[in-house]
A = this chain, B = another copy of it.
Amino acid sequence: MLHIIGLGLADEKDVSVKGLEVIRKAERVYLEAYTAVLLVDQAQLESYYGRPVILADREMVESKSDEILAGADEKDVAFLVVGDPFGATTHTDLALRCRQHEPPIPTRTLPNASILTAVGATGLSLYNFGQTVSMVFFTEDWKPSSFYDRVAENTGLGFHTLMLLDIKVKEPDLKALARGKIIYEPPRFMTVAQCASQMLEVEEERKQGICSKEALAVGVARLGSDDQQIVAGTLEELAGADLGKPLHSLVLCGKKMHELEWEYVRGFAMDQKKFDDVWKQSYKA
């Protein structure tokens, strides 16, 4: 059986008791290590589990899944995923391959905390969120702005938007690659400030008022850990905020923001008077 096990958000102890029992008995243990990361490293996980952990990068999961699934029709294989197993579509693909395997491989999924719900720590109601939107790193000549249309769909209905921020792990260094060498760039994680800046940059072009300087937003970092940080402010303020180590996410507030949500969120405001003023002027029903 393939056990797809959510690890939660922060460290080795966020796994469920049930998940830990499976990991400790499994024939092999893989860790999906490219759509999200924990705040602890592989060695710490291995020491806590008492088991070797095989890092599964994108290439292994998407092109060499046979390695992962080998023997799983008879023995237990654990595939660990940071957050909840269904946060990324790639894990549904893996389950689909198990179903189509000959003989079929039974799968079992152990859900866990996800940023999609942990973001409720901001005080924003999970009932008021629209679709989740991804933000990728802009480069000099590639600034995809399709996120703006998705955010606009949400804001049109007054919904909040959770923005999931790009991470780059194990990206080949293109200059080295051109010289025939495979060297990986150091990992990069988008910050709240970078996301806010990119949103403002696209607003400059589109000018529909979806991601304006005065739009209220909430930045979060390391949610679910003792070290979590939540900062609320305008997008302009957040573009200058430093929330420290990864992972970061950002929520753009929708106009439906209820008074009870505001009352909680304002406790995280960088400049509470400004936050209240903007809320009263542009958000309050």
Contacts and interface: CB of A to CB of B under 8 A. Distances in A.
Nearest to A128: B131
Contacts of A136: none
Contacts of A18: 11, 13-14
A17 interface: yes
B264 A111 contact: no
Contacts of A108: 226
Copies per complex of this chain: 2
A9 B111 contact: yes
Interface stretch (A118-126, A169-177, A272-280): A118-126
Contacts of A121: 86, 109, 111
Contacts of A127: 89, 131-134
Given A20-B17, A92-B123, A267-B99, A118 B111 contact: yes
A132 B111 CA distance: 19
A117 interface: yes
Size category of the binding interface on chain A: 35 or more
Nearest to A91: B120
Nearest to A48: B17
A260 interface: yes
A57 interface: no
Contact of A114 (B15, B117, B157, B264): B117
A122 to B, nearest CB: 9
Interface string A71-102: 00000000000001111010011011001000
Contacts of A260: 89, 92-93
Contact of A110 (B95, B224, B263, B267): B224
Given A112-B8, A131-B159, A159-B130, A120 B85 contact: yes
B116 A117 contact: yes
Given A16-B13, A20-B17, A96-B263, A126 B117 contact: no
A109 to B, nearest CB: 6
Interface in A117-159: 117-121, 123, 125-134, 153, 157, 159
A158 to B, nearest CB: 9
14 contacts: A14-B110, A16-B112, A17-B17, A85-B120, A86-B119, A92-B125, A92-B264, A96-B123, A96-B263, A99-B267, A111-B113, A111-B114, A116-B116, A126-B132
Closest 3 CB pairs of A and B: A86-B120, A111-B113, A13-B18
Given A110-B113, A112-B113, A116-B116, 10 more contacts: A16-B16, A16-B112, A16-B113, A17-B20, A89-B125, A92-B120, A99-B267, A113-B114, A117-B117, A128-B131
